[in-house]
């Protein structure tokens, strides 16, 4: 009984690792598309941006969204 469970766990882990590797390429492509989309939005407008853009800027600038200034945005675009 124990041997069967151990074998099944190993198979599950192996399948999970394969899935993770397969999905990595899709996620990397989506990240680059999102980056381009967000940069285009930031270049085309001014503060305040849509909440999704503010969240992205917050991660990029490592600042809370409420403390982001237009100067910070300009520095990111350079």
pLDDT tens readout for residues 20-33: 999 999 999 999 99
- DSSP label of 62: T
Is residue 36 a contact partner of residue 28, using CB atoms and an 8 Å limit? no
Taking the C-alpha atoms of residue 74 and residue 78, their distance in angstroms, rounded to an integer, is 6
Q: How confident is the model at residue 2 (pLDDT cuts 50, 70, 90)?
A: low
Number of H helices, E strands in the chain: 3, 0
Strand, coil or helix: what is 27? helix
Mean pLDDT of 26-43: 96
Q: What is the CA radius of gyration of the chain?
A: 20
Note the pLDDT of residue 3. 64
Is residue 42 a contact partner of residue 49, using CB atoms and an 8 Å limit? yes
């Amino acid at each position: 009984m124990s041997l069967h469970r151990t074998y099944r766990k190993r198979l599950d882990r192996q399948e999970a690792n394969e899935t993770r590797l397969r999905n990595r390429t899709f996620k990397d492509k989506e990240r680059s598309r999102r980056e381009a989309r967000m940069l285009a939005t930031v270049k085309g407008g001014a503060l305040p941006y849509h909440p999704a853009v503010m969240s992205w800027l917050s991660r990029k600038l490592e600042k809370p969204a409420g403390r982001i200034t237009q100067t910070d945005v300009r520095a990111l675009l350079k």
